[in-house]
């Protein structure tokens, strides 16, 4: 097999986050599901933004956050996603390239603006996301560069990509190329409501194309429509080579064949949970590409996730490489 040029290539929605504090009453008033990712259109985005407090902007997007985290750990990443050539598109492009990530997907020149996610952080540090997909709806199979997929040890896909209609084709094309090239395919289920929208497709993907699966408790239970975490765990271990199931403050469970590891969360002051799962995936994938055992990869994942939740916004604000090293990993 040819030498890999990238540790991980990610395909995902290219989004700028707009992050503000809010109380629970504001969520109730808006009628949005706390903790979930809700899709909104341009008009709804403008209306919600007008009601939101002063905010902070920074690059986001679940999969893009993971690739940014991988780069911060010292891994070589590539990203495929769609922005418009506008100010927020420039921000997204700058930030991911500044980390050394290869990002060459052509921007759109007209049509909807660069995607943004209006994130409300409640006093319990929980984040509630409202996403205007904008330019992401233009991502299609032509944006998937077979050379990059073939040259990446792992192709990482976010479940959210199933929402914009054409992106799903990009998703399937990439997974197929990766499989045929003898590379690994990783998937995050993204959000339990996203699983609700695309359950049959996700089940099919997980059983046929996915080598490494990330899900939180709600997502994996939704995927298999079971009432307990353990039931979901018993099903998924028959389906995937490697599964990492995250449980917020209760840590995570990693299953690979006969191996099962229960990993503690790394204690930290929790400011904003945005990006916790994304950086967990970054740490885990980085560990796998470095050939460490599953337990060590899980511990790296926990350290990276703890960094994400210690500040506003999903991207690391310190070198994850140095942080992981300081934990003796």
Residue 202 corresponds to which tokens in the numbers above?
Answer: 């996700």
Kindly state whether residue 98 participates in binding its own copies, applying the rule CB under 8 A: yes
* C-alpha closest to that of 244 among 216, 222, 279: 216
Q: Which CB sits closer to its own copies, 98 or 325? A: 98
Q: How many residues bind its own copies (CB under 8 A)?
A: 27
Q: Which of 32, 156, 312, 324 binds its own copies (CB under 8 A)?
A: 312
Interaction between residue 79 and its own copies (CB under 8 A): no
Interaction between residue 113 and its own copies (CB under 8 A): yes
Cα separation, 79 vs 88, in Å, equals 17
Decide if 102 contacts 6 (C-beta within 8 A).
Answer: yes
Q: Which of residues 10-39 bind its own copies (CB under 8 A)?
A: 20-21
Q: Is 49 a binder of its own copies (CB under 8 A)?
A: yes
Q: Which of 25, 43, 53, 328 is close enough to bind its own copies by CB under 8 A? A: 53
Considering Cα of 128, then 132, then 135, then 136, what sign does the dihedral take?
positive
CA angle 314, 61, 173 (to 5 degrees): 140
Tell me whether residue 31 or residue 53 sits nearer to its own copies (CB atom).
53
Residue closer to its own copies, measured from CB, 120 or 254: 120
Question: Which secondary structure element, helix H or strand E, spans residue 116, and what is its range?
Answer: strand 115-121
- The full length of the chain comes to 329
By CB under 8 A, residue 95 contacts its own copies? yes
Kindly give, in sequence order, each residue whose CB lies less than 8 Å from that of residue 206, ignoring residues fewer than 6 positions away: 187, 213, 223, 236, 239, 240
Is position 44 an interface residue for its own copies (rule: CB under 8 A)? no
| Smallest separation, CB 141 to its own copies (Å) | 29
Q: Which residues bind its own copies (CB under 8 A)?
A: 20-21, 49-50, 52-59, 68, 86-88, 91, 94-96, 98-99, 113, 312-313, 315, 317
């Amino acid at each position: 097999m040819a030498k890999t040029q990238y540790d991980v290539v990610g395909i995902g929605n290219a989004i700028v986050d707009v992050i503000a504090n809010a109380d629970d009453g504001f969520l109730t008033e808006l009628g949005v599901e706390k903790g979930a990712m809700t899709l909104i259109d341009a008009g709804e985005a403008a209306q919600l933004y007008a009601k939101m407090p002063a905010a902070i902007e920074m690059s986001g997007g679940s999969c893009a956050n993971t690739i940014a985290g991988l780069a911060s750990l010292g891994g070589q990443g590539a990203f495929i996603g769609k922005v418009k050539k506008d100010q927020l598109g420039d921000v997204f492009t700058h930030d991911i390239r500044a980390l050394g990530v290869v990002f060459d997907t052509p921007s759109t020149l007209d049509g909807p603006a660069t995607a943004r996610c209006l994130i409300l952080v409640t006093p319990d540090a929980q984040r509630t996301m409202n996403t205007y997909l904008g330019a992401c709806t233009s991502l299609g199979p032509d944006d998937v560069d077979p050379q990059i997929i073939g040259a990446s040890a792992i192709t990482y896909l976010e479940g959210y990509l199933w929402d914009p209609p054409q992106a799903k084709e990009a998703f399937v094309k990439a997974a197929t190329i990766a499989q045929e090239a003898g590379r690994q395919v990783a998937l995050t289920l993204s959000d339990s409501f996203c699983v609700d929208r695309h359950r049959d497709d996700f089940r099919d993907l997980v059983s046929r194309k996915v080598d490494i699966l990330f899900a939180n408790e709600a997502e994996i239970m939704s995927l298999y429509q079971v009432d307990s975490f353990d039931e979901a765990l018993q099903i998924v271990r028959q389906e995937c080579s490697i599964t990492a199931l995250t449980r917020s403050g209760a840590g995570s469970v990693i299953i690979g064949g006969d191996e099962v590891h229960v990993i503690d969360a790394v204690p930290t002051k929790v400011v904003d949970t945005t990006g916790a799962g994304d950086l967990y995936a970054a740490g885990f994938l980085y560990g796998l590409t470095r050939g460490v055992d599953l337990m060590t990869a899980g511990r790296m994942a926990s350290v990276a996730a703890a960094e994400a939740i210690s500040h506003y916004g999903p991207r690391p604000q310190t070198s994850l490489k140095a942080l992981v090293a300081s934990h003796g990993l």
